[in-house]
Amino acid sequence: MADLSKELLQSIAEVLAGVPVDPADLPSNVAQLGSQLDGLARLDDLDLLGVEPATMVLPPTEAPHGR
């Protein structure tokens, strides 16, 4: 699991996001985010250079008459 500090997350929440922090939530935030960071980094293995992001609200392009 990646090494994240509660203090770092608290700063992001309060300074960047403007969301009040309950310190009791931070250990859970650290655990949840930390457990996914390696997997998120490994998305680079997919060679995404030529891939555009999925468009959020549109149906799959495979739809015969999809938009």
Partner 1 sequence: MAASELTTLSIAEAGDQIRRRSLSPVELTRAYLDRIAARDAECRCYITVLRDQALAAAAALEKEIVAGQYRGPLHGIPIGLKDLIMTRGIRTTCGSRILKDWVPETDATVASRLFNAGAVLLGKLNLHEFAYGPTGVNPHYGTARNPWGIDRMPGGSSSGSGGGVAAFYCAGALGTDTGGSVRIPASLCGIVGLKPTYGRVSRAGVVPLAWSLDHVGPMSRTVADAALILQAMAGQDSADPSTAAVPVPDYRSGLTGEVRGLRVGIVRDLFFERLDPDVRVAVEAAVRRLEGLGVRIEEVRLPRIHHATPAVFAIIAAESMAYHEPYLKTRASEYGADVRARLLTGQFVLATQYLKAQRARQVLRAEMDNALRQVDALLTPTTPIPAPRTDEREVTVEGVRDDVRAWLTRCTRPINLTGNPALSVPCGLTASGLPIGLQLVGRQFDEATLLRLGHAYEAVSPFRAHRPPQAD
Map the footprint of partner 1 across residues 5-34, applying CB under 8 A: 9, 12-13, 16-22, 24-25, 28-29, 32-33
For residues 19 and 13, the answer to whether their CB atoms sit within 8 Å is yes
CA 31 to centroid of chain Cα atoms: 13
Tell me 58's DSSP state: S
Closest CB 63 distance from partner 1, rounded Å: 4
Give residues in contact with partner 1 (CB under 8 A): 9, 12-13, 16-22, 24-25, 28-29, 32-33, 36, 39-40, 42-46, 48, 51-54, 56-60, 62-67
